[in-house]
Amino acid sequence: MATPRVVLITKADCHLCEEARLAVGRVTAALGLEWTEERVDHQPELRERYAEEIPVVLVDGVQRDFWKIDETRLERVLQRAMAQ
Q: In the predicted model, what is the mean pLDDT of residues 57-76?
A: 97
Report if residue 75 sits inside a domain: yes
Q: pLDDT class for 59, splitting at 50, 70, 90?
A: very high
Report if residue 72 sits inside a domain: yes
Q: In the predicted model, what is the mean pLDDT of residues 15-43?
A: 97
How many structural domains does the chain have?
1
CATH code for the domain in which residue 14 is found: 3.40.30.10
Residue 58 has pLDDT above 80, yes or no: yes
Report if residue 1 sits inside a domain: no
Residue 1 has pLDDT above 80, yes or no: no
Report if residue 38 sits inside a domain: yes
Task: Report in angstroms the alpha-carbon separations of 46 from 12, 21, 41, 68, 83.
Answer: 14, 18, 9, 19, 29
Quote the domain boundaries for residue 68: 6-83
- The pTM of this model reads 0.94
82 C-beta neighbours (distance < 10 Å), count: 14
Q: pLDDT class for 40, splitting at 50, 70, 90?
A: very high
Residue 51 has pLDDT above 90, yes or no: no
